[in-house]
Structure 1
Amino acid sequence: MEVRVREGDSYAYYGRLFMVPLELIIDSNEKVNPSNLKTGTKIMIPGYVSVPYTIKEEDTLWKISKAKNLSIDAIMILNQMQNPNQVVPGETLYLPERISQHHVSLKLPYGSKILTKQIKALKKFYPFINVDTIGTSVLGNHIQEIRIGKGLKKVHMNASFHANEWITSMILMSLVNQYLVSLTNRSQLAGINSINLYNETELSIVPMVNPDGVDLVLNGPPTGSRQEVLKINEGSGEFVHWKANIRGVDLNNQFPANWEIEQERKAPKSPAPRDYPGSSSLSEPEAKAMADLIKNNQFDRILAFHTQGEEFYWGYEGFEPPESEFLAREFERVSGYKAIQNVDSHAGFKDWYIQEYKRPGFTLELGRGINPLPLSQIHDILKRVEGIFLASLYL
């Protein structure tokens, strides 16, 4: 929500007036010097929207503020009013409305266009977040990253490495949205003050690593790639079991952690709906974008959201540090998911991260059933994975 600075206003006053943490207001207005607020400057108040209200004959500003549980000055600053008696029946007044519920839809299949719209909405409602494009997919779709917080601890999470696991993007975005609502409402998450998490931890999220693959599963092949994709899929127009990117490369078999072993033993030796590790490691733009993101940042831990199995993997070839086991036990406790240290698998994102950086990495297998998991499971999954999300930030 946008307001204009009046003479004598300060960020601290806005924080008290709208009951939003001061640091969120400062971070929402990075280009404005808080010690030199000039009259008329546009300021963003995070976690609010302005809602039109038609003034009734019997209305006064005091009556409206009492009915809507709003400060009179909050209404005046939003409408640039000089006089509280400046209320004219029939005219439109704008009222500040706090956002108290998250806006991620949990009812519709979650493709890249919906994700893009929701990221844009989050940036508008919560301008203290940072949104960047870390790369593009084979078809030129943006692979976007969201950053929240400014702490020394750095945590990365991602979803939808695999196309038919698009429900993971919906879950991760829902968790992020709950976090943002909690921040601007000064509320707690599972007994934790969310603003403390914001100040202590910087969270990086890539909610959809494989946008082309997700859209293929949900919408069928794009016009320009139709024949190539149908050939990879052996002529079938059914893509519900497709895991790969649009070129038929499994992005979670693309990383240089014993990639040669996976190349040798994986059955597909050419592009396929799943399991083909590519002609070389990091051959695909989506995998390279993720590798570059990790190389350019000093993340303390990473979590990759997959489905299904209600378990998670936390080791790789003995490269994992002692901290990994501590985190794994806590994740197991708060979620009920089974912690598994090692599996006979290589070339995954988590494998490569642990091997290269000797830091905690986790592959979370959410839910149980046949991919893609039905949306009927989403609320149960959210309840169980929320504890992992929070523990990864505060521990």
Structure 2
Amino acid sequence: MMEKTASQPPERIVQVGTAYQFKDYSVQLNQLLDLYGDVISCTSIGSSVLGKPLWCLKIGRGPRKVHVNAAVHANEWITAPLLLRFIEAFAAGCKQRGAQENESSLECRRWFDNTTLIAVPMVNPDGVDLSQGGIDPACSWAEELLKWNGNHSDFSKWKANARGIDLNDQFPAYWEEEQSRRGITEPAPQDYGGTAPLTEPEAIALAELTSREQFDYVLSLHTQGREIYWNYREYEPEIAEQLALRLAKVSGYRAVKLGGSDAGYKDWFIYRFGRPGFTIEVGEGVNPLPVSDFDEMYGQIYAIIASIMDS
């Protein structure tokens, strides 16, 4: 199989500065819709704890449904612009005609005809803002958030949502075992799964979208480790490992058979639907990963999503 390479439009809308908060995401999303509104559709699937819309983007008209989500964990916010840039490249390729037409644009139009990509680039907008900007003085949870963060004003290690609940420990796939393993019984920067599965509006919205759309494949983008997790308690289909090895080949990541982990979105998808689901651990280093790594990580993510689009 030929290795996928990201197309290079002359001017990209999706850019990352020293930070990438919900306001940056919203501005760029609106710019994409202004330019590619005939290709990309956008709806809200719900609201965050603090009332921010959870935007869901759809591109393509094919019968195969691929879902990708990102920024589930707050300080892994860089995955949101990585996913949004892929959507921009996909939309741009669909629009290229005549002298601009090339192999990449033909590929994008093939995807558009054969596959529907349904993406939620920022699952945890409250946490994304908190991890980069600290507590908003107007936030109704300000006192509690400071307490849950050990009375530290630096939230750069925060992964949870605005109620101190880790959204990737919120799904009904052996949830009780994950909570027992974690041993965390109250809101915290990470690893607290709440009092029950699917109590948080962000997790509920993602689960409802997934049940409604009946995806064929899902990818959940996280950081870091350059690894691809493809299994869950032997509930995964036989093709899952083969697909993971293919994704690893095109990206340079490692396909890892993971144990001792439950209640994540990918876990629940495999457990509930028995279809291929993958957690992609993008990049290497310490979260939050540096913006200077963005272009390199984007090339890897482009290759992974492109390969799934061709599955």
Q: Is the 8 A contact 2:93 2:106 kept in 1?
A: no
Equivalent residue for 2:171?
Answer: 255
Q: Is the 8 A contact 1:101 1:181 kept in 2?
A: no
Equivalent residue for 1:343?
Answer: 259
CA RMSD of aligned residues (A): 1.4
Give the secondary structure class of the aligned counterpart of 2:189.
Answer: coil
Gaps (5+ residues) in structure 2? Answer: 1-8
| Residue of structure 2 aligned with 1:156, choices 56, 67, 70 | 67
Q: Structure 1: which amino acid aligns with 2:203?
A: A
Q: Structure 2: which amino acid aligns with 1:367?
A: G
| Residue of structure 1 aligned with 2:88, choices 177, 187, 190 | 177
CA deviations over 1:173-207 (Å, ceiling 9, x no partner): 11111111111114456696210110000000100
Q: Is the 8 A contact 1:319 1:355 kept in 2?
A: yes
Q: Is the 8 A contact 2:233 2:259 kept in 1?
A: no
- Superposition TM-score, scaled by structure 1 size: 0.73
Identity of aligned residues (%): 42
Equivalent residue for 2:17?
Answer: 107
For the residues of structure 2 that align with 1:295 and 1:188, how far apart are their CA atoms? Answer: 37
Give the secondary structure class of the aligned counterpart of 2:213.
Answer: coil
| Residue of structure 2 aligned with 1:209, choices 123, 127, 151 | 123
Whether 1:118 aligns to 2:28 is yes
Shift of 1:229: 0.7
| Residue of structure 2 aligned with 1:147, choices 33, 44, 58 | 58
Give the secondary structure class of the aligned counterpart of 1:249.
Answer: coil
Shift of 1:332: 0.8
Structure with the larger RCO, 1 or 2 (CA within 8 Å, 6+ apart): 2
For the residues of structure 2 that align with 1:345 and 1:188, how far apart are their CA atoms? Answer: 43
Give the secondary structure class of the aligned counterpart of 1:138.
Answer: coil
For the residues of structure 2 that align with 1:123 and 1:189, how far apart are their CA atoms? Answer: 24
Equivalent residue for 2:216?
Answer: 300
- Superposition TM-score, scaled by structure 2 size: 0.93
Whether 1:199 aligns to 2:113 is yes
Superposition map of 1:283-322 within 5 A: 283-322=199-238
Q: Is the 8 A contact 2:251 2:303 kept in 1?
A: yes
For the residues of structure 2 that align with 1:298 and 1:374, how far apart are their CA atoms? Answer: 35
Whether 1:219 aligns to 2:129 is no
Q: Is the 8 A contact 2:94 2:105 kept in 1?
A: no
Q: Structure 1: which amino acid aligns with 2:110?
A: N
Superposition map of 1:11-160 within 5 A: 100-128=10-38, 129-160=40-71
Shift of 1:127: 1.4
Q: Is the 8 A contact 1:137 1:212 kept in 2?
A: yes
Whether 1:333 aligns to 2:249 is yes
| CA 130–259 in structure 1, closer or farther in 2 if over 3 Å, else same | same
| CA 381–192 in structure 1, closer or farther in 2 if over 3 Å, else same | farther
For the residues of structure 2 that align with 1:233 and 1:141, how far apart are their CA atoms? Answer: 22
| CA 155–111 in structure 1, closer or farther in 2 if over 3 Å, else same | same
Aligned residues: 297
Equivalent residue for 2:3?
Answer: none
Rg larger in structure: 1
Give the secondary structure class of the aligned counterpart of 1:350.
Answer: helix
| Residue of structure 1 aligned with 2:282, choices 366, 372, 375 | 366
For the residues of structure 2 that align with 1:153 and 1:100, how far apart are their CA atoms? Answer: 30
Q: Is the 8 A contact 2:283 2:297 kept in 1?
A: yes
Shift of 1:368: 0.4
Q: Structure 1: which amino acid aligns with 2:65?
A: K
